[in-house]
Copies of this chain bind each other. A is one copy, B any other.
Amino acid sequence: MPNAVRELQVDLGDRSYPIFIGDGLLGSMDLTPYVAGSQIMIVTNETVAPLYLEQAKACFSGKAVDSVVLPDGEEYKDWQTLNLVFDALLKKRHTRKTTLVALGGGVVGDMTGFAAASYQRGVPFIQIPTTLLSQVDSSVGGKTGINHPLGKNMIGAFHQPEVVLIDTNSLKTLPPREVSAGLAEVIKYGLIRDTEFLAWLELEMDRLIGLSPDSLVEAIYRSCACKADVVARDEREGGLRAILNLGHTFGHAIETFAGYGNWLHGEAVGTGMVMAADLSLREGMISGADLARARELVARAGLPLLPPAEMTPDHFMDLMAVDKKNIDGALRLVLLRALGDAFVTADASPENLAATLGAFCQGAPD
């Protein structure tokens, strides 16, 4: 039996839903109360299926459960692969009363969510994220979608799940590099909104890296709660939600430079957050001690502190100029007014930005 289960309600009016977080939930928790019809289509990938598909099916006993297994990898987050889901739904004659279930990481979650948003103009779906990154990021926010050859996540929808089940036990099969990448987003929530959580993370980081269930449940709960609070205030990305992108503008530049897949998203965000903190210091907003705390936590999570050695300030400037958050050509960055207080600005001084890029690109973060 699982230990204590934490429940978090994501408050979005008539699209509100609960997130259940615990160790050993997969296979033991009955999810049928969240299924209106009789049909279930579990969407997963070839890596996750052998590990957890049977356990996931056990959450829907009494229902007609079909499954479709996709190839694993961001390079398959495209229309052709999405269409395998539609093929399976139509071949198995799933009606508009069906429920889709995403079992896997962020790619499976994004694709399944978009399939659910689009199949017969919209059917319900359930998220069972199995990576730390997807547990603390995609569980909340309703963003779904696929990539286009000319841009990531360019085609998609906002579509909220009926329920999210997070089993920390599934992290035991996750490569350590991916645990660290997930911790980058966990640290992010502390940095942007919650100094108390930041202090807690400093105490718990070693237990998190060691996959202690109690620490993981708490970290995931507080991360999801932080994101849920931000998203509830700004569901369609008008303003506040942009602070969730702390470290992402620098990070996307790193990911693109390195070629997608060579740096994990969370690794690039980890380095990007340290760069954003460095710029915040140069802008006179946080102290050197604050920057050191941020950098220390990122380092203890096993994340890189510097961009690829070959990357120059010009690479950063070119790659950041095409960021889709920019408006009318002005570079928009998320900076820290203080630890636990992020904001979006287009007014960072070009000299300070150049100094930050120069410092990190020479391999010396100070």
Residues on A facing B (Cβ under 8 Å): 79, 83, 86-87, 90-91, 95-96, 117-122, 143-145, 148, 150-151, 153-158, 324
Chain B residues with CB below 8 A from A87, complex form: 150
CB atoms of B122 and A157 under 8 A apart: yes
CB atoms of A145 and B157 under 8 A apart: no
Assess A118 versus B150: contact at CB under 8 Å? Given A83-B79, A96-B324.
Answer: no
Q: Which of B121, B122, B148, B157 contacts A86 (CB 8 A)?
A: B148
Q: Chain B nearest CB: distance from A80 CB in Å?
A: 9
7 nearest A-B pairs in the assembled complex, by CB-CB distance = A90-B150, A121-B156, A118-B155, A86-B148, A121-B158, A121-B157, A90-B151
Chain B residues with CB below 8 A from A91, complex form: 150
How far does the alpha carbon of A145 sit from the alpha carbon of B148 in the complex, in Å?
18
Q: Can you give 26 contacting A-B residue pairs, CB < 8 Å?
A: A79-B79, A79-B83, A83-B148, A86-B148, A87-B150, A90-B150, A90-B151, A90-B154, A95-B324, A96-B324, A117-B157, A118-B118, A118-B145, A118-B155, A118-B156, A118-B157, A119-B155, A120-B154, A120-B156, A121-B143, A121-B144, A121-B145, A121-B156, A121-B157, A122-B157, A157-B157
How far does the alpha carbon of A87 sit from the alpha carbon of B148 in the complex, in Å?
8
Chain B residues with CB below 8 A from A79, complex form: 79, 83
CB-nearest residue of chain B to A83: B79
Chain B residues with CB below 8 A from A324, complex form: 95-96, 120
How far does the alpha carbon of A158 sit from the alpha carbon of B90 in the complex, in Å?
20
Q: Chain B nearest CB: distance from A13 CB in Å?
A: 12
Q: A118-B145, A118-B155, A118-B156 are in contact. List 12 more A-B contacts (CB 8 A).
A: A79-B79, A79-B83, A83-B148, A86-B150, A86-B155, A87-B150, A117-B157, A118-B118, A118-B157, A120-B154, A122-B157, A157-B157
Q: Chain B nearest CB: distance from A79 CB in Å?
A: 6
Most B C-beta atoms less than 10 A away, residue of A91, A148, A158: A148
